[in-house]
Amino acid sequence: MKAAVIVFPGSNCDRDCKVAIERSTGAHVDMVWHGDTELPDGLDLIVLPGGFSYGDYLRCGAMAALSPVMTEVRAAAERGVATVGICNGFQVLCEARMLPGALLRNERLKYVCKAVELEVTNAQTRFTAGYAGRRQVAMTVGNGEGNFFADEPTLDRLEGEGQVVFRYLDNPNGSARSIAGIVNAGGNVLGIMPHPDRAFEAELGSADGALLFQSALASA
């Protein structure tokens, strides 16, 4: 199995993602610089990591969405390659219009960093199948702009079509309908604000994030 982690200027969870994927799945992981115009062949998973790409200038993820490598990321996703955006990566996917909605400043205008409990609202996606019926998982958040927003028709569509995958049990940032993670209509692009890469071994407080990476690669 092969995975790639995209590295933007300001990424600070890129190596976390590499280690989490390697230890969780045994997959080979390539680090791909944002300025590259090609991706490695035969990828089964692409991850856009957390951090502060381009220092969060303009809007979180807006400049990273225009990076040369994103043309290839978008093309790979359109071919069905599993693609995950974590935290800042979720923001990038929204700015690149690969996912609907936007991530706004947290409701209380403060950075939030803590463990969170999540409901798995759709356990039949390629990213959640490994949870095997579990309805509650634990990860962590670390963001200042994690407040998911979309208009009401879009929210209704996301919920009605099973695209809401994770929901906060105790909404830490004001996200609409407590949404913590969504997938695209094709089911192969996931945006998630909590960090599975910080919850892949019991020693970190939870190993629930490992199941997300395992599910994504098993589906390939």
Residues forming the active site: 87, 195
Element (DSSP H or E) covering residue 154: helix 152-160
Helices (H), 26-116: 69-78, 88-95
Give me the phi and psi of 183, to 5 degrees please. -120, 160
Residue whose C-alpha is closest to residue 92's, from 6, 198, 219, 195: 6
Residue that has been written with the tokens 């200027």 in this structure: 9
**Rounded CA separation 220/201 (Å):** 23
DSSP letter, residue 109: S
Look up residue 57 and give its amino acid. Answer: Y
Q: Any idea which residue has 């590295």 for tokens?
A: 7
44 contacts: CB under 8 Å, gap ≥ 6: 1, 2, 3, 27, 81, 82, 216, 217, 220
Residue 87 to residue 118: CA distance in whole angstroms: 15
CA distance 145 to 88: 9
Nearest to 91 by CA among 146, 169, 140, 41: 146
